[in-house]
Amino acid sequence: MKYVKVCPRQELDFLFEARNSEKCVDNFRRLSPRIADCIYTPKIYWDLSTSKVLSMEFMDAAEITDLDAIRRSGIQPKDVSKLVNQAFAEMIFKHGFVHCDPHAANMMIRPLPSSSRWNVFRRKRPQLILLDHGLYKELDFATRTNYAALWKALVFADVNAIKEYSIKLGAGEDLYVLFAAVLTMRPWNRVIDPSVDHLVLKGNDNDRSEIQMYASQYFSQISELLRRLPRVILLMLKTNDCLRAVTHALLQGPSIDTFLITGRVSSEVVAETKRMLQSGSFLSGLSSYLDQMLLEARLLSMRIALCFLQIRKALSG
């Protein structure tokens, strides 16, 4: 109840929203400079804004699920999907300051202003415009790094690590399997399947029926899990659902890139945390280097396996 009381009050304070907007962009500049130019929030007119009136720059851009408008602007929906998932992976795992309401109405897309020309493939780089900054949540260091370690474990089907970090995040030894299933929307046998597309939701009738069946079968356990989990993790579940819906709308189907991006960013955070906690010795530096090489090899092998999988499906179709 305390959270329910605080959040609406903050969301109705437009100066609070304005500060969140500027902090979000500043985090990308400081912590994610590689994609900082691709993230934009409307300029705030502070001299015309109060806690009850927010004056912002008007944005002339496409709604994020308007595929025709996106293509007309020279942008490919696949590139938009990758940018959205990259941006939120950076927010969740690196920044620890997360826009928790990323539904389609709160995101727009336009060509990156600095790349107004067509490239050789007649594609322009997208710029993601984030709107409605009233609902943010901060993840403390332990929650952020444990959540990153859990998602790394989920992407790479590491059973022991899934259990360890699910317990650390509050699921308990009896419900960690259910927590993994709720996070990924996949049954446990798929969560621990080593195949490259083990977490991909196809979005067909079979997937929907399976999810509905498990939700009905484990309703009481799911209720207990939601009671145990910290509020911030509940908001991450909401955020995941919004992003999943936007990705599906953009691609008109499932995407493995979402999990490759999540695997990379979460693994980078796990490696960085390990470096911070170890001494700056030669052996720790070597260990860090080997971890990075292993990560690159695993991601490459996943991409190669994915290519073969797509070729096989195309030939069989």
18-39 pLDDT per residue, tens: 999 999 999 999 999 999 999 9
Model confidence pLDDT, tens digit, residues 193-205? 887 777 776 666 6
Catalytic residue among 47, 60, 68, 101: 101
61 burial type by CB count under 10 A (0-12 exposed, 13-18 middle, 19+ buried): buried
How far are the Cα atoms of 8, 250, 272, 276, 277 from residue 281, in angstroms, in the given order?
48, 46, 15, 12, 12
* pTM, rounded to two decimals: 0.88
Model confidence pLDDT, tens digit, residues 122-172? 679 999 999 999 999 999 999 999 999 999 999 999 999 999 999 999 999
Query: Going by DSSP bridges, is the β-strand pair 126-130/107-111 parallel, antiparallel, or unpaired?
Result: antiparallel
Sheet holding 39-40, edge to edge: 39-40, 126-130, 107-111, 62-63
Tokens (6 digits) for 251: 């691609």
- pLDDT given for residue 1 in this prediction: 46
Categorize the per-residue pLDDT at 255 as very low, low, confident or very high, splitting at 50, 70 and 90: confident
Annotated catalytic residue 132: no
Contact 124, 73 (CB under 8 A): yes
